[in-house]
């Protein structure tokens, strides 16, 4: 039976793919003292092992994964890429360029100094910088003819060199980056929680937790509560914990506004967190059961920021938003949770999560932007056309000095994804891809591509380790650590970044979500996520282009 399964996997690339994905996820989830490799490194390791023993992955799977992943990278970065350039982009662009340029120069120098085989330098850059889009662009540049192949070498061999070098340096890149980010604040004696507190991001966690336990209760206001105090002041004091959604006085329902003041014996319905009612219920007055007050359907909706009147404004400055009887319970930027407080600035394409009466949710369309209703539906027509358009753009060639130049599939898909993502931010009814669907398409595409890379590199991994393994590992350590140190010094001395925000920006410039999680945990705040999203939008584009460029330089 076992022999039969082995023969099935060797003869069926599709079956081998899903076995590699499964084992890769298992490896990626194994932890040691809170540290895990993650699914990308896990699938890469599984692919290397299976590839070493002669298993292959279907070529269509790697091509499909490549196209899906690169397009999703552009789609995700599109809205913020344009906005960041127009607003606070110069600082984050400079940070991303410093990280990319430092890594590029170091990788190119190491490649020449160590006399690495053709293609290995591109793999060194991609692996040490932990950026898979760099690897994808480099291999595509070779296969499409964009990058020249040295005389006496086959394209397939150089592509394999890229993947093998990447596989060796990526594992050390992930671990090295996490260790550098972890110990750098301690070495510099930086108090991350204190620095993050300066960014006034302390209320994010309360908002995230309250969303899971919101409920509505009715009370008759007693003499010990905040009688005659405007609702706006009450809401500011209990932001993200409670909101008065209905009020009745002498049998008549009141219209609630920021300047509305309540009196003793008024009857109110409060939407709030369980902890709020435990702490303040007795202060409010007597709890009552009143069908009229409680008979309001409370729902949660996601709203895409697209109204020009609120883009660039702080949450506390939007008067129309304060007059709505809703709770802002979550906020994401490029799928990364960011802090919520009155000073949080709204950016184009931010996704806000509101909870409150259904009738109030409808008003968000006028105040904030597009209210997501069919959140399970993906616009596959636009998605499919976008990928085809990207492949078409990448196939066009322009002859300069007798040399045909082309963007290649990676460049074309990136441009197409950026365009569709930006157009989606301008017209939210176009090109809808819900967050969970985007995560699945991007993650699955990336892991399918990585499974193919691992399997192809696995056949030569032992020989490469024996001949150049130590050189690659040492070179990878340098290319991983030095850009972080240079970027930190540049960010503090030149750009004047807050340390917590800067470390988040550096993880974004290295496109490392695992390192971001480490920084947010160490700083006890989601404030570093603001830096991550600012640099990440640029880094994905810059490092993707670097994958092709380094093959032309070295």
Is residue 220 within a helix (H) or strand (E), and if so which, with residue range? strand 214-221
Q: How many CB atoms lie within 10 A of CB 482?
A: 16
- pLDDT at residue number 399: 57
Q: Report whether pLDDT(259) > 80.
A: no
Q: Mind listing the pLDDT tens digit for each residue in 116-166? A: 889 999 999 998 998 888 888 888 888 888 888 888 888 888 988 898 898
- Angle at which helix 155-187 crosses helix 120-128, to 10 degrees, equals 30
- pLDDT at residue number 429: 63
- Please tell me the pTM assigned to this model: 0.67
Cβ-count burial 186-195 (b if 16+ within 10 Å, e if not): eeeebebeeb
**Alpha helices, DSSP H, located in 396-527:** 408-426, 435-458, 461-493, 499-509, 513-523
Q: Mind listing the pLDDT tens digit for each residue in 376-415? A: 677 888 888 999 998 888 877 665 555 455 667 777 888 8
pLDDT category, 48, cuts 50, 70, 90? confident
Question: Nearest to residue 252, comparing CAs of 266, 262, 269?
Answer: 266
Poorest-pLDDT segment among 318-322, 323-327, 348-352: 318-322
Separation of alpha carbons 158 and 83, rounded Å: 38
Q: Report whether pLDDT(105) > 90.
A: yes
CA distances (Å), origin 553, targets 121, 252, 386: 10, 76, 31
Q: Which position has the higher pLDDT, 257 or 491?
A: 491
Q: Report whether pLDDT(490) > 90.
A: yes
Give the mean pLDDT of 5-34.
Answer: 77
Q: Report whether pLDDT(190) > 60.
A: yes
Separation of alpha carbons 377 and 358, rounded Å: 21
How much of the chain, in percent, has pLDDT values that exceed 70?
84
Separation of alpha carbons 25 and 18, rounded Å: 10
Q: Report whether pLDDT(203) > 50.
A: no
Give the mean pLDDT of 427-436.
Answer: 72
- pLDDT at residue number 406: 64
Question: Nearest to residue 40, comparing CAs of 195, 134, 167, 155?
Answer: 167
pLDDT category, 97, cuts 50, 70, 90? very high
Q: How many CB atoms lie within 10 A of CB 319?
A: 11
Averaging pLDDT over each range in 191-200, 366-375, 410-419, which range is the top one?
410-419
Provide the mean pLDDT of the chain. 80
- E-strand stretches of 251-363: 252-253, 267-273, 285-288, 298-305, 327-333, 336-337, 351-357
Averaging pLDDT over each range in 122-131, 219-228, 336-345, which range is the top one?
122-131
Give the mean pLDDT of 28-46.
Answer: 77
Phi, psi dihedrals of residue 229, rounded to the nearest 5°: -100, 135
Cβ-count burial 99-122 (b if 16+ within 10 Å, e if not): bbebbbebbbebbeebebbbbbbb
pLDDT category, 202, cuts 50, 70, 90? very low
pLDDT category, 98, cuts 50, 70, 90? very high
Give the mean pLDDT of 31-53.
Answer: 78
Q: Report whether pLDDT(201) > 50.
A: no
Is residue 389 within a helix (H) or strand (E), and if so which, with residue range? helix 380-395
Give the mean pLDDT of 179-184.
Answer: 86
Q: Report whether pLDDT(107) > 90.
A: yes
- pLDDT at residue number 393: 86
Separation of alpha carbons 91 and 103, rounded Å: 18
Separation of alpha carbons 376 and 374, rounded Å: 5
- Write out the two tokens for 251: 């049998």
Separation of alpha carbons 122 and 119, rounded Å: 5
- Contact assessment for residue 346 and residue 311, using Cβ atoms and an 8 Å cutoff: yes
């Amino acid at each position: 039976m076992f022999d039969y399964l082995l023969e099935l996997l060797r003869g069926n690339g599709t079956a081998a793919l899903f076995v590699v994905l499964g084992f890769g996820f298992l490896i990626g989830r194994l932890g040691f003292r809170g540290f895990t490799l993650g699914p990308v490194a896990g699938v890469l390791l599984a692919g290397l092992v299976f590839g070493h023993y002669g298993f292959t992955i279907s070529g269509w799977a790697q091509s499909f994964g490549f196209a899906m992943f690169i397009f999703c990278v552009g789609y995700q970065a599109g809205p913020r890429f344009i906005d960041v350039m127009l607003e606070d982009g110069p600082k984050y662009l400079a940070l991303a360029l410093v990280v990319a340029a430092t890594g590029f120069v170091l990788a190119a120098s190491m490649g020449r100094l160590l006399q690495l085989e053709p293609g290995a330098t591109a793999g060194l850059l991609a692996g040490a910088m932990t950026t898979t889009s760099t690897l994808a662009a480099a291999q595509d540049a070779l296969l499409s003819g964009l990058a020249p192949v040295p005389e006496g070498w086959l394209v397939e061999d150089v592509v394999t060199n890229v993947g093998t070098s990447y596989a060796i340096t990526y594992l050390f890149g992930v671990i090295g980056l996490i260790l550098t980010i972890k110990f750098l604040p301690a070495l510099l004696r930086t108090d991350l929680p204190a620095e993050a507190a300066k960014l006034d991001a302390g209320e994010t966690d309360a908002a995230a937790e309250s969303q899971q336990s919101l409920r509505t209760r009715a009370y008759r206001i007693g003499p010990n509560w905040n009688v005659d105090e405007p609702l706006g002041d009450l809401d500011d004091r209990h932001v993200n914990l409670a909101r008065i959604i209905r009020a009745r006085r002498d049998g008549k329902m009141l219209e609630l506004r920021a300047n509305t003041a309540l009196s003793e014996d008024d009857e109110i319905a409060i939407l709030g967190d369980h902890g709020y009612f435990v702490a303040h219920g007795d202060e409010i007055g007597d709890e009552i059961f009143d069908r009229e007050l409680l008979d309001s359907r409370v729902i949660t909706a996601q709203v895409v920021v697209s109204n020009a009147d609120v883009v660039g404004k702080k949450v506390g400055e939007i008067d129309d938003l304060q007059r709505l009887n809703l709770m802002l319970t979550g906020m994401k930027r490029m799928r990364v949770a960011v802090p919520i407080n009155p000073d949080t600035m709204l950016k184009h394409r931010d996704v806000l999560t509101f909870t409150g009466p259904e009738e109030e949710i409808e008003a968000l369309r006028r105040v904030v932007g597009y209210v997501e209703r069919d959140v399970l539906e993906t616009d596959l027509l636009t998605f499919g056309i976008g990928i085809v358009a990207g492949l078409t753009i990448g196939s066009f060639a322009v002859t300069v000095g007798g040399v045909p130049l082309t963007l290649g599939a990676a460049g074309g898909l990136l441009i197409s994804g950026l365009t569709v993502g930006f157009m989606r931010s301008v017209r939210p009814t176009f090109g809808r891809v819900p967050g969970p669907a985007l995560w699945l398409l991007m993650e699955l595409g990336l892991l399918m591509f990585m499974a193919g890379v691992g399997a192809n590199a696995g056949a030569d991994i032992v020989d490469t380790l024996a001949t150049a393994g130590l050189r690659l590992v040492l070179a990878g350590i340098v290319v991983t650590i030095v850009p972080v140190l240079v970027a930190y010094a540049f960010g503090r001395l030149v750009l004047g970044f807050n340390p917590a925000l800067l470390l988040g920006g550096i993880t974004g410039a290295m496109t490392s979500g695992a390192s971001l999680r480490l920084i947010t945990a160490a700083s006890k705040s989601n404030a570093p996520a603001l830096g991550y999203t600012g640099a990440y939008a640029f880094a994905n584009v810059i490092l993707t282009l670097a994958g092709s460029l380094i093959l032309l330089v070295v």
